[in-house]
Amino acid sequence: MKKNNLFRALLISATFALQATAALAVNPDEVLSDPKLEKRAREISAELRCMVCQNESIDDSNADLARDLRILVRERLTKGDTDGQVIDFVVDRYGEFVLLKPRFNAQTALLWGFPVIILLIGGGALLVAFRRAARCWHSPTAPSESEKAELSRLLDGK
Q: What is the pLDDT of residues 94-146, one digit of tens each?
A: 988 899 888 887 877 787 888 899 999 999 999 999 988 877 776 667 888 99
Kindly report, residue by residue over 29-63, the tens digit of the pLDDT: 567 778 898 899 999 999 999 988 878 999 888 89
Q: Report yes or no on whether pTM surpasses 0.85.
A: no
CA distances to 47, 54, 77 from 71, rounded to whole Å, are 15, 19, 10
Give dist(CA 97, CA 50) in Å, integer.
10
Task: Please tell me which residue, 66 or 2, carries the higher pLDDT value.
Answer: 66
What per-residue confidence (pLDDT) applies to 17?
Answer: 60
Q: What is the DSSP string of 73-141?
A: HHHHHHTT--HHHHHHHHHHHH-GGGBSS---STTTHHHHHHHHHHHHHHHHHHHHHHHHHHHHHH-PP
Contact status, residue 100 vs residue 69, Cβ threshold 8 Å: no
Angle CA 148–151–152, to nearest 5: 85
CATH tag for 2-98 (out of 1.10.8.640, 1.10.1740.10, 3.40.50.300, 1.20.140.10): 1.10.8.640
